[in-house]
Structure formats: structure tokens, C-alpha cells
A and B are shown apart, each in its own frame.
Chain A
Amino acid sequence: MIGVSLRKYLRAGLAGVVAVALSSCGPKEPAVSGGSTVVRQITEAQYRNIIRDVFGSSVTIIGRFDAPGREAGLLAVGASKADIAPATLERYDNLGRSIASQVMEEKRRANLVSCTPKAPKEADDACARDFLGKVGRMLYRRPLTSAELDLETRIATEAAKARGDFYAGLEFALAGMLVTPQFLFIAEATEADPDHAGLQRLTGLSKASRLSFLLWNTAPDEELLAAAEKGDLNTKRGMERQIDRMLDSPAVEAGVRNFFSDMLGFDAVEQLAKDTIIYPAYSSTVANDLKEQTLRTLVDLLVTKDGDYRDIFTSRKTFMSRQLAMVNRISAPTETTWVPYEFAENDPRSGIQTQVSFLALHSHPGMSSPTLRGKAVREIFLCQAVPPPPGDVNFDNFNNAAVAKTARERLTVHRTNPTCAGCHKVVDPIGLTLENFDGMGQFRTTENGVPIDVSGDLDGQPFEGGVGLGKVLHDSPAATSCVINRVYAYATGRAAGRGDVAFIDYLEKRFAADGFRFKSLLRTIAESDAFSTVAAKPASQSNKVAFDASGHKELQP
């Protein structure tokens, strides 16, 4: 305990020194031009987290959610474009009713309903109002307007009368709240910004939501809401105090996990299919574990150890479950839980690009795919777009490809066709270096009896295998710039645009100055003016210039 406090004390002290140093001579935030507000549909994880925070983890949430499309590489940006189709609303309605009914069960309501009705079989306006006002504030992430509170109370009263049950009244009102746009969409409000003439800023409550969803992936807690209502979030001090508190909280792990799940495309794990005849080691447990392994690796490195982001590509330290040990062909841990594991110095695995999650997700169900893997390295880690395959291609050459023994030989055929060669030559030389991992990420040295050659290159820089790839990615400025762009887009719900160029530039310098500490990046963004300043008119027109239609930076030829 003493050790922890001392460390914390020291860290706080050092952070203070660093902050002072930076404010005097470090990179400075450029003048802001103002971003735009967004309306985001809450995601499944956010929905689950909010319900857990408000009603406790004993309320079960059984049902399917519809994920938004991916935009600019992130579901979090897709959520700013998503709307709710009838089938989706029907599902929300079912979920809302199930949650409301669980909350009003006798065993729970004593704890969750803030007051006792005068008579349980009758309506009680005052008590309903009290409960709905408190719960509504957490669900809507702001106090209810008086019209909203009047209406909710009236619904509860009418339904209580119709059903002869006070709690049934609350149940109907709560189920209704859970399908309102106020709950299902995170909308942002602005006000004139006294510090930046001609610009708007997010209101304190909207800032609170941006902060909370960025750092914790859930709605603001009571303390943050109270700070917003008091106006604390309009001051630098007030913001810093809350950001410190939130970054120090264990809840930040949930935020970091969610960011990387999104960036790494782990939503696809749900649909991951592997042929169990070809890959007998595969199972739904493996599917869950491969994602967990990578997220644990990242949280340990970036949050627990407050390490250097670039090390995610080279670190040999990870965590192992029994199921994954089989896939990794190492002796299984005796524990049934996760245990820390470090790959040996000469092991072909180091860095998350050699973990089963990356290798299996970017493969076919029955074979590996250097093309999909190379494309994923470019799109996920470097934020570079790879164009889709062309239409009307003559694949007749493949009559010869059938005799090819290795992926390298098969792909040579693609490169003989000029229409295909353009893209294949930017992705295949990366993906081929991971070929000693099969379609579910198991190590191998041969394919169809032929030794596998894992040499390749990234934009002319030659290297060998997944370890070599990790070193190149570790030193690539595109990789650190990419994660900056992603975190900023994740935080604001929109891809960086022309107006953000100077700010992104500043973030790059600052990230380097902070030793590429991921938590520092979160802090820099959260504390910046750019995070919460809004152009007087929605800046949607300026959002598309630096990025192409799919939100990625164009590939450099």
C-alpha cells in the first residue's frame, strides 16, 4: 500500500514538473477553428455500461444490438451517422421493457426506487417524480426539462391507475424513457464561447458526456454531472481535476478496451468463422479468448504500465488462457484464468500483429490471406486506404494458379494482371511476412510441403516475418500519427478534417514529447480547446478534405 501511494505521489509530482515544463517550452496547442457537434447513437457497450451504472449489474440485458457501420475506420464515427431502423427500435423496445420490469421486481425496487409510495396500489405523483427525475438525469446525461418530467410523471400516474399498481406505473414510464431519442442518441448542445470570440463551445453537460464516453465509455457519473452543473467544466482547472480523477479510476480500462476493440475491428469476432475440420483447435471459446488476449495485452502495456504505444508492435509480454495456449502450441497454464506470459526472445511472436486475434480475423475460414492481412496492417495500424478490387477482371489466369503450392506463388498470378497488381503490390509484401501463421494464427514453417518464405517489405523497407514487421511498425511515424487520428475521431465522433490539420500536428509533437504514452494522449485531447470548441455553423463541409470518402488518408504512391 505504502509503495503504491509513494509511487502515486511521485508520479503526481513528476507530472506536475512535466506539465510546467511543457507549458513553458513544449509544443503549444494552435489556435482553434472549432469542430462540429455530432449526434451519436449509443453503442451496445455504452448501453450496457449505463444500465449497469444506474441499476446495478444484476439487471440482465439479453438481446441483440445492431452495430453502426464503420466510418473513418471506427464504429464510433459510424455512430454519428447511424439512425434507428424499425427492426432496431423494436429490439430497443423489448430491451427497455425487460430492463424496466427487472428494475421494478420486488427484490430490486427497494434499493433502486428512491422513495416509498403512499400506497403501493395507487399512483403517487411526488414519488414517481422523484424517481423519474433522478433516473432520467443519469439516462439522459442531464436534468430533465420540466416538460419532460411532467410528462414522465403523468405516464407513470396514468399507467399506475390503469394497472392499480404504483410500480407498474414506473415500469411503463421507465420503459418509455429507454426508447426516447434523448437516451438512445448522444446529442450535444453549445453556447457562446467567451474565450474564443465568434466560436461556440459545448455546454458543461455536453462536455461531461464527451469526456465520460471517451475515458470510460459510459455516461457521466454523479460527480461529473455535478461538476458540469456547477460550471466547473468551463474552467481549465475544473476540467483538469475531472480528467485526472477519471484517468486515475479503474474505469479507464473499459474506455481503453473499447477504443482498441473499435480500432482493431473486434466487432467482427462475433461473426468469425473457422473451419473446424481444417482448424480443430478452433472453438467459440477461442474466438472470445483471442480478443481478450489482445485487449489484456494493451491494457497492461498502456494503462497499467503507462507504456509507450509503439511497443504494442514489439512487446513479447502478453496473457495466456488454456484454450489459447493450444493455438499458440505452448504448454497450457494450469490455472483456469488468464496468466501473464512472455514469449521467448527468438519466438516468432512479438507484438499484437503476431497475436491470434489479428492473424485469425484477417484470414479466410479455411486458409490464411496475405492480402487481407496486408490490407489490415495498412488500414488499421497506418490509417491508409486500400482501394477495393476492380470489377470485370478476367480471372482466367487462375487456371494456372491451381497448381501453386504456397500463397506467395498463388499471389504472383495476381501480380501478372496489371489491373490487380496496383493494389496487390501494396498489400501482399506485408501480408506475406505473416505467412508462417495459418488461417487461425497457428505457427507453421511449410505450406503443402514447401518451406514458407516470410521476407517482404513495407514501402521499400525490407524485413523478415512478423517480428520484423513489428520493428518497422514501431518506428513508423505513420503508425503513431494513425492512432492519434483515431483517438481524436473517437473522442469527437467525426474524422479529422482540414480544420484539424494544425491540431493533429500539435498532437503528434506532444505525443512524441510525452514518450508516446497513450494515457497522455487521452489527456492532451481531453484537455485541449479543440476537444470542446465548436464552429458557429456546423463544420461538416470541412470534414472531408484531408481524408478520402472512406475516411482514410490516401495511400502515398
Chain B
Amino acid sequence: MTFLIPRKPTRRSVLRGMLGSAAISVSLPFLDCFLNTNGTALAATGAPLPVRFGTWFWGLGQTPGRAISNKMGAGIEFLDECKALIPYRDHINYFSNFNTPLDGKVSQVHFTGWVAARTGEAPGRDRDVRLPTLDVLVGDLIGSGSRFRSLDVSCTGNPKDSYSFRSAGAPNTAEVSPVSFYARVFGPEFVDPNKGDFKADPNVVLRKSVLSAVNEQSKQFVSTLGAEDKARIDQYFTSIRQLEDNLAAQMQKPEANAACHVPGLPVEGQIGTEVGFAQTNHKLMTDLMVLALACNQTKLFNMLYSDSGSSLRLPGTSQNHHNLTHEEPNDPKLGYQVLSAKFATWSMEAFGYFLEAFSKVREGDGTLLDNTFIFANSDTSHAKIHLNDNIPIMTAGKAGGRLKTGLHIDGGGNPLSRVGFTALQIMGVPVEAWGSGALRTSKPITEIMA
């Protein structure tokens, strides 16, 4: 499934013409075609506030009967494990009873669930992500025109904990350190959209023209490869186009936004799977993420609090969250795994913090949360038995008014891909059906479409 990004013939084509074609002997104004005589860029266009899209992930689901009541419809009734979400319940939709039919494929534990939710396909084998993930599809539509195509963060310390893929061979690996995340977004190349004296960096202009030329030249190189080899490195060319797009975006002033300000450099703490480290780094990187969005540095994000099959752990204990879900006995009085349930509660506290941060950023008459579509999911429902059905999925935010919220939706055993499909439709991705096999669907969840 490929989506063409509508492209205007822009300065890029001009540049490509300059450097890419064989007959070039242009010696002069290398820069002048981009900049006006003052060396300033185009003024802000006054476009409406952009709608952002992003994902939030946590591992190992929720404890049955402790997260949400069975009451469906308006007025979501969150229980103990989701207490932290109560303040945002009118901004959330919670999806229950959506299943993951496998078409006879073997369940790859802690993998099948998230791949099905994010790509609409149950994987045939471990680590095989054949279809692009939701965020990448939405990114093809809204991702260009920003300094960063997407900002991807993992709070586990492992950059490979990323569930954003265009193809199996090329995951978008994540930032794991608040300090490097800060440096990437707010480092020397950051342009404050609220400052009046914008001047495109001539180096950015040069870099972009070099990349355009490299891209053209590379095509000749690739034409010498066999068909299979050529297809193999297809993603590289998408990436280089996106990098050009990012640089093009930096040649214009980002849209001003009163909510944007440059944060202070975070203090580097410890990074790793200790739950306390993950919690702290999640807070630090959430604070940076909302400002990156407010400062119009990107429209897309992926935030991972814990990995699929969570490797988070408490200091001084021999079993991590994952081992606990399997081996911790049920408390005889309470009837559930107490420590595992704590981890699940902490996950929802982190999600609550994430939503709080979005709702604190004022934008126009509303908040950043109002202008964002957040797709949140886990990898299993009841982790103790690796259950792929009824995986908890939520949406949060109103997507600029396109998404109705505050509902607990009963999937009645329908495939979970319906949630992802609905997200694509709400974000405007031109797609009539999505997913493969028993997960293929063409039925959006209309209750949440405004």
C-alpha cells in the first residue's frame, strides 16, 4: 500500500534542474532563487492550527476488571488502574472487545498484538512487520513541511523499542535520552517561530541542494542494480526525499504559536529499564514533546513508555514486569496479581501525565490536546496468558474537532483494525479499506467521527 504525496513543483525542482541535469553550467546566484533581496523568507501564511497525530504505547495491557467498568457509551467509568485518566475522560475514547483474529497464524507473543493494532496485519513470524504502521501512513499525508518528519521517543533506554515502521527492514528508531532529544529539537539549529527576524540559514539552503543532487545521482547508481536489489533500498529514497522536505521547511519561518517557548536543558538522569528511570524520562521527554509540537517542529510523534512485553522492573527485585505477569501468584484475598497490577497502574499514570501536558498547552481557544489525535495501545490484554483479544486501545484528543470523544465503545468481537482504520479516515488519509486477512476492514467506527 503506497500513498502518493501530492507535490507542488517547487524550488526543489528548480534546484534539481540546477544541479542534477547534465547540461548545467550555472555559476551564479546559487541562493538567490530561495530568498528575497533582504535574505528573509516568506512571511507566515496564517494557516489554521495544524492537526497533529501521534501514538502512545505501553506494554502488558491491563488487569481484567480493574481498568474500566463494563458500562458502554458516554461517560467512561475508569476503575482503580485508570484513575489517573479520570480528569481526561471527556477527551478519551476507550475501545473494548475488539479482537485479533490470526487467520491460523501462530501468535508471536508480545508482537502479534501491537503489529495487528498498528498495521492491520497479524504477522506471520517474529519481527516481520510487512505493512507500514499507522503513523507512517498519516505522516505521508501531513508529515512534510515540518523540520522533523516525526519525533520518536522510547523511555526504556533502548532505541530499538520503536513501533514505527515503513517496512520490516527500516524501523524509525527512537530517542532515549532527554538530553539528546533536547539537543536534536532545541539545539543550535532550532528557529524560534515567535521571533521576528527570521533569516533562512544559507547552509540549510546549500545542504538541501546537495541532497537533491545526491538524490538525482543516486538514481543512476540504483539503475545499475538488479530489480530485487533496487526494491531493497527503496526506503532510502523515501528517506532522502523526507530529509529534503525537512530542510525545505527550515527555509521558511515556522508558524508562530504563542504557546511555543524554548525549554531549559533537562538534567540527564539515569536511563534504563528501572521503572523510576522510565517514569522520570517519560515526564522529561513528554514536556519536550509538547513544546516541539507547539513550536511546529513536527506534526507527528511516537511515544513509548514501556516496551511490548514490558521489561520495566523495580530495583532490588529479581523479576521484571514481564516475568511478574506470568509468575506472580494471584493474591488469595484480592484475586489478582498485586505487583503486576501496580505496574499497569503506573503505566496509566504516565498516560495521564502525557494528556495533562497536552492539555496545558493553550492553542487558540483550546489546547494542544484539542488539536491532536493520540492513538494509544498495548500489546496484550491479560498479559498473564498472552491474550491478544480485547487489547486495550484508546484515542485521546479531538483532532481539531474531527474526533468525537468521551465514549466507551463496545467492539462486540470485531477486528481491532477497525480502530486504526477509523484513525486513518479521521486524519484524512484516502483509504477505503485497511489491513489484511481477517483483519482487513472497510468499516470505520462512525460513532467517533464528527
Contact residues of A between 353 and 393, Cβ < 8 Å to B: 364-367, 388-393
Beta-carbon contact of A399 and B329 below 8 Å: yes
CA distance A390 to B387 in the complex (A): 11
Beta-carbon contact of B384 and A93 below 8 Å: no
A277 at the interface (CB under 8 A from B): yes
Q: What are the residues of chain B within 8 A of A550 when measuring CB–CB?
A: 125-126
Q: What are the residues of chain A within 8 A of B242 when measuring CB–CB?
A: 86, 89
B30 at the interface (CB under 8 A from A): yes
Beta-carbon contact of A85 and B210 below 8 Å: no
Q: A83-B232, A86-B243, A179-B240 are in contact. Are A395 and B210 (CB under 8 A)?
A: no
Chain B's nearest CB lies how many Å from the CB of A320? 27
Q: What are the residues of chain B within 8 A of A277 when measuring CB–CB?
A: 315-316
Chain B's nearest CB lies how many Å from the CB of A165? 12
CA distance A82 to B173 in the complex (A): 13
Beta-carbon contact of B229 and A159 below 8 Å: no
Stretch touching chain B among A10-18, A62-70, A298-306: A62-70
Q: A366-B320, A398-B329 are in contact. Are A37 and B243 (CB under 8 A)?
A: no
Q: What are the residues of chain A within 8 A of B316 when measuring CB–CB?
A: 275, 277-278, 366
Q: What are the residues of chain A within 8 A of B272 when measuring CB–CB?
A: 273
CA distance A179 to B315 in the complex (A): 42
Q: What are the residues of chain B within 8 A of A398 when measuring CB–CB?
A: 326-329
Q: A151-B19, A181-B236 are in contact. Are A391 and B107 (CB under 8 A)?
A: yes
Beta-carbon contact of A364 and B202 below 8 Å: no
Q: How large is the interface on A (under 10, 10 to 19, 20 to 34, 35 or more residues)?
A: 35 or more
Chain A's nearest CB lies how many Å from the CB of B294? 21
Beta-carbon contact of B217 and A154 below 8 Å: no
| Contact surface of A with B, Cβ cutoff 8 Å | 37-39, 64, 66-69, 81-90, 93, 97, 145, 147-148, 151, 154-155, 158-159, 161-163, 172-173, 175-177, 179-182, 184-185, 187, 189, 271, 273, 275-278, 364-367, 388-395, 398-399, 401-402, 410, 439, 538, 540, 549-550
Which of A67, A84, A158, A394 is the one whose CB lies under 8 Å from B235? A84
Beta-carbon contact of B166 and A85 below 8 Å: yes
Beta-carbon contact of A179 and B317 below 8 Å: no
CA distance A540 to B24 in the complex (A): 41
Which of A90, A388, A393 is the one whose CB lies under 8 Å from B385? A393
**Residue interface bits B81-124, CB-to-A below 8 A is 1, else 0:** 00000000000000000000000001111001000000000001
Q: What are the residues of chain B within 8 A of A159 when measuring CB–CB?
A: 30, 206, 210
Beta-carbon contact of A83 and B210 below 8 Å: no
CB closest residue in chain A, given B111: A388
Which of B217, B233, B386 is the one whose CB lies under 8 Å from A83? B233
B310 at the interface (CB under 8 A from A): no
Chain A's nearest CB lies how many Å from the CB of B155? 14
Total interface residues on B, using CB and 8 Å? 85
Beta-carbon contact of B19 and A365 below 8 Å: no
Q: What are the residues of chain A within 8 A of B22 when measuring CB–CB?
A: 147
Contact residues of B between 262 and 311, Cβ < 8 Å to A: 272-274, 311
CB closest residue in chain B, given A36: B228
CB closest residue in chain B, given A182: B221
A-B contact pairs, 20 of them (CB 8 A): A38-B229, A39-B232, A83-B167, A83-B170, A83-B233, A85-B170, A85-B172, A93-B243, A151-B213, A155-B213, A176-B211, A179-B211, A271-B158, A278-B318, A365-B311, A367-B319, A389-B109, A389-B386, A391-B107, A395-B326
CA distance A391 to B326 in the complex (A): 12
Contact residues of B between 108 and 160, Cβ < 8 Å to A: 108-109, 112, 124-127, 148-150, 152, 157-160
Beta-carbon contact of B313 and A366 below 8 Å: yes
Beta-carbon contact of A172 and B210 below 8 Å: yes
Beta-carbon contact of B170 and A82 below 8 Å: yes
Q: What are the residues of chain B within 8 A of A180 when measuring CB–CB?
A: 214, 217-218, 221
B9 at the interface (CB under 8 A from A): no
CA distance A276 to B316 in the complex (A): 7
Beta-carbon contact of A538 and B170 below 8 Å: no
Q: What would 20 more interface pairs be, CB under 8 Å, given A39-B229, A159-B30, A271-B158? A: A82-B169, A83-B170, A83-B236, A86-B238, A87-B173, A97-B207, A155-B210, A162-B31, A175-B210, A176-B211, A180-B214, A189-B224, A275-B315, A364-B323, A365-B320, A388-B106, A391-B109, A391-B112, A393-B385, A395-B326
